[in-house]
Amino acid sequence: MIKIALSFDDGRMDNYVMAKEILEPLQVPATFNITVGYIKKEDKIEKPSDHEPMTIEQLKELSSNTQFEIASHGYEHNNDINNLIRGAIELRKILGLSEIEKIGIVSPRSEFDTSKLSTIIDNFMNNNISYLRVGKRFEKNSFIRKVVRKINRKINIPSLYSWVYNQSNIRKDDNFLIYTAGIIKDNKLKEVKKLIDDAIKNDKSYILTMHSILKANEKFYDDLFTWDYYDFYKLCKYLKKLENDKKIIICKTKDIINGK
């Protein structure tokens, strides 16, 4: 059975609200990727966005629910290796975890240069980092896929969206790097459903990465990294139906690697 993981970047306040109102009642697991300096509201750091961050207390509350995983998304929102490691160390402190507790890292903007990984992998290992999630790697026809992805953001044909991502999103031979399908405002519900339907057919697991989940009357609703609250609710109901039909397992990012 394939696995589908839902993942939310940055630590935005609306993620907390959505988790309480949608994920907890529906019992949908998810991973929240936290930029530590952002939720500590530190000045003069590289922030992910102008959105209100969730509070430390809200983060701890999510962390105390076994339905959720908390991963690191940098201390600041950039891919400097020391910043990524610092984010993981400081996040453990906030959550009251020991330094040997494994934690995942999610690359800010998914821009980590994986060609550098071999030279710094020991740094990740020595700091008990369990995985590094990066952007989608288009292996075959990568230029064409990128162009089609751009065009399809205007015309929204589900089979095109699925084709763009329909490769080994999560590579079975990797046990450290994880790839992800990013979902932004221009990717419609019907496209994401089609991606999941095809994933089942092709026996491939996916991580669906999102940012803000907001209602139409809320600030930042029109932002490119916002997804509609009610569409997201429908997506969760769809995933739960597939899970009840024993077609998918909804899991956390770390379960994609660790098996379940």
Place of tokens 């600030």: 219
**Least distance CB 208 / Zn ion (angstroms):** 15
Q: How far is CA 129 from the centre of its chain?
A: 16
Range 107-146, binding Zn ion (CB under 5 A)? 108
CB 88 within 8 A of CB 127: yes
Q: Which stretch binds Zn ion (CB under 5 A): 6-14, 160-168, 186-194, 243-251?
A: 6-14
Instruction: Tell me how far apart the alpha carbons of residues 260 and 256 are, in angstroms, rounded to a whole number.
Output: 8
Three-state helix/strand/coil letters over 44-99: CCCCCCCCCECCHHHHHHHHCCCCEEEEECCCCCCCCHHHHHHHHHHHHHHHCCCC
Q: Which stretch binds Zn ion (CB under 5 A): 1-9, 131-139, 145-153, 180-188?
A: 1-9
Pick 75 or 163: Cβ nearer Zn ion? 75
- Binding footprint of Zn ion, residue count (CB under 5 A): 4
Tell me: does residue 11 bind Zn ion (CB under 5 A). Answer: no
Tell me: does residue 9 bind Zn ion (CB under 5 A). Answer: yes
DSSP 3-state of 105: strand
Give the one residue of 48, 53, 87, 104 binding Zn ion; rule: CB under 5 A.
48
Q: Which of 79, 69, 70, 137 is nearest to 108 (CA)?
A: 79
**Least distance CB 74 / Zn ion (angstroms):** 8
**Least distance CB 93 / Zn ion (angstroms):** 21
**Least distance CB 141 / Zn ion (angstroms):** 27
**Least distance CB 77 / Zn ion (angstroms):** 6
Give the one residue of 5, 10, 32, 34 binding Zn ion; rule: CB under 5 A.
10
CA-to-CA separations, 154 to 185, 198, 213, 220, in angstroms, rounded: 11, 21, 21, 20
**Least distance CB 187 / Zn ion (angstroms):** 17
Taking residues 80 to 109 in sequence order and writing x for each that binds Zn ion by CB under 5 A, - otherwise, the string is ----------------------------x-
Neighbours of 139 (CB within 10 A): 10
Instruction: Tell me how far apart the alpha carbons of residues 167 and 142 are, in angstroms, rounded to a whole number.
Output: 11
Pick 48 or 87: Cβ nearer Zn ion? 48
Tell me: does residue 14 bind Zn ion (CB under 5 A). Answer: no
Q: Where on the chain is the footprint of Zn ion (CB under 5 A)? A: 9-10, 48, 108
